[in-house]
Structure 1
Amino acid sequence: MRWLIAFLFLASPAFAESVVLGLSQNEIAITTSFDGSEILVFGAVKREAPIPDGPPLEVIVTVAGPDEPVNVRRKAKRFGIWVNTDAVEVDRAPSFYAVATSGNLRDVLSDVEDLRYKVSVPRAIRSVGAPMEITDAASFTEALIRIRKENDLYQLMENHVAVDDQTLFRGRIELPAALTEGAYETRIFLTREGRVISQYETAIEVRKVGLERWLFSLSREQPFLYGLMSLAIAIAAGWGASAAFSLLRN
């Protein structure tokens, strides 16, 4: 038994190379003037042996926002009017998802490993089933990905992670202004020949602060008071605009 344990220890590459990670910030504050942010991911590879010969080390960085179910609807023109026809609920889709790699994704990660770790954008989305009458359910997931890519909520940044001497790495992830509050899971993968040899996970907290946080909490905890306040602001804005217009006319 002892020789078997020793053999497994020596044979596993996870014991030879592991990630030591750093983030430029692990908390992002959303204020009324928030227009996006940028996260610098940097780190090093810790080794218990010299750099192995053969294919170079590759690095993949993923950042995923909170998961949420999404209803995707298909529109069709009926009698000159665009109306909703079919709908599919995607069971789980990250509100934000970014993948940054040191090379082309298909070169640094095999399909088998992608299926196992759910790294690519399509694999990060979970859609179990659809109504029986819908035969092209996959197109709804594709539409969701396309729309969120257009809004910079889903990103694939190949060759955006620099790896120096197979030891140091760094990359940047751009976060758009439209962020959902919550924990953003950050994963680092070390790969060789498309196979994951080490993985590291951490989280970036995204929180509303100041007036933005107060209004959000008020709308959830005291919706009646929030509605009255919104109505009062709308009336005041309307009265102010009317008074300004009257002054201009005179």
Structure 2
Amino acid sequence: MLWRLAALLILAAAPLRAEEVVLGLSSDKVAITATFDGSEILIFGAVKREAPIPETTLDVVITVSGPSLPVQVRRKDRQFGIWINTDMVDLDAAPSFYAVATTGPLDKVLSNTEDLRHRISIPRAIRSVGAASMAPNVDVGNFTDALIRIKRDQNAYQMRESAVVLDEQTLFRTAISLPANLTEGAYQTRIFLTREGRVVSQYQTVIDVRKVGLERWLFTMSREQPMLYGLMSLAIAIAAGWGASAAFQIMRRG
């Protein structure tokens, strides 16, 4: 297979170390166009060693993280027959997209200590340090869980256990599905090699996600020339309304 050949080629080209990741991507750039409806990135690589394979089992954990932004999470309760916002928590930073793929159950391939150190699991990737001090009477964990649930429903947060294929403790591969509503920016891609739950090696690279074509032109105009963008949007709305009205009049006469 092509991915296996590519992994062997990059393995041969890498410098020798005790045990390290040599990575390949099917694409390191994603173009968001007007017709973009999602994409899939194949992540593959190899483990290069200068010593015999250890007896302990090797596992691989891969994460892909989109740009992190502050997020405000609100809770609604029904009072007097209507739904109103009752509580609110500001999370310091949450990735716009986050995917974790592993060779096995996450709690088996990664210890809690290593998860805390490297912020690998989805809850660890969300930073909410300041939220507890800003809302001392609110359980921040419930709001974090709600955000994760919403993002999972949107396919923006993915936990893909046993989705990484590892051959002979050397060659690995997985595929990450990117949804249509991607945020533009650098998507940090990390690969961790673990043994008995401990990280023994890691590698990091970036997938660049950018708007192109008409999408890029409109996005740039909205940021750099907001007045012109607003006038153009208004003109398009007026023209569309006039066109619909004219078409309706013609249909009535016919």
Same fold (TM over 0.5): yes
**Counterpart among 204, 225, 229 of residue 228 in structure 2:** 225
* CA distance in structure 1 between the partners assigned to 2:237 and 2:27 by the alignment: 38
- In 1, Cα distance between equivalents of 2:242 and 2:21: 60
Q: Distance in 2 between matches of 1:168 and 1:241?
A: 58
Secondary structure of 1:213's aligned partner: helix
1:35 equivalent in alignment to 2:65: no
* Partner in structure 2 of residue 200 of structure 1: 203
1:106 to partner: Cα distance: 0.7
Q: Deviations over 1:46-84 (max 9, x none)?
A: 00011112x221101000000100000111112222111
Residues 86 and 134 in structure 1, CA contact (< 8 A), matched pair in contact too: no
Measure the CA separation in 2 of the matches of 1:137 and 1:16: 42
Three-state SS of the structure 2 residue aligned to 1:135 is coil
For 1:48, which of 23, 47, 50 is the aligned residue? 50
Provide, for residues 65-122 of structure 1, a one-character-per-residue CA deviation record: whole Å limited to 9, x for no partner.
Answer: 0010000011111222211121100001000000000111111001111011110000
Note the residue ranges of structure 1 that are not aligned, 5 or more in a row: 1-13
Instruction: Tell me whether 1:58 sits opposite 2:59 in the alignment.
Output: yes
TM-score normalised per structure 2: 0.91
Q: Which whole-Å deviations, capped at 9, do the CAs of 1:127-147 have from their partners, x for residues lacking one?
A: 012334533121111110110
Q: TM-score, normalised by structure 1?
A: 0.92
Mapped partners of 2:140, 2:58: distance in 1: 37
1:37-186 pair list within 5 angstroms: 37-53=39-55, 55-128=56-129, 129-130=131-132, 131-132=134-135, 134-186=137-189
What runs of 5+ residues in structure 2 fail to find an aligned partner? Answer: 1-15
- Could you tell me how far apart the structure 2 residues matched to 1:46 and 1:182 are? 31
Task: Write the distance in 1 (CA, Å) between the matches of 2:136 and 2:109.
Answer: 39
Number of residue-to-residue matches in the alignment: 236
Cα separation, 1, equivalents of 2:186 and 2:71: 19
Distance (whole Å) between structure 2 residues aligned to residue 132 and residue 107 of structure 1 = 34
Matched, 1:24 2:26: yes
Structure 2 counterpart of 1:244, from 226, 242, 247:
247
Query: Once the 2 structures are TM-superposed, how far is the Cα of residue 15 of structure 1 from its aligned partner?
Result: 4.4
Deviation at 1:248, TM superposition (A): 1.1
Could you tell me which residue of structure 1 aligns to residue 217 of structure 2? 214
Could you list the runs of 4 or more consecutive aligned residues of structure 1 that deviate by over 6 angstroms after TM superposition?
none
C-alpha distance in 2 between matches for 1:133 and 1:82: 24
Show CA shifts across 1:134-187 (max 9, x none). 331211111101100110000000110000000000000000001000000000
Q: Secondary structure at the match of 2:231?
A: helix
Distance 1:228 1:220, change over 3 A: same
Alpha-carbon distance in structure 2 between the residues aligned to 1:137 and 1:115:
18
Aligned to 2:21, the other structure's residue is in SS state: strand
Question: Does the CA contact (< 8 Å) of 2:17 and 2:48 recur in 1?
Answer: no
Which letter maps to 1:65?
Answer: G
AA in 2 matched with 1:124: A
Question: Identity of paired residues, percent?
Answer: 67
Q: 1-side partners of 2:168 and 2:136: how far apart?
A: 54
The whole-number CA distance in structure 2 between the counterparts of 1:118 and 1:208 is 29
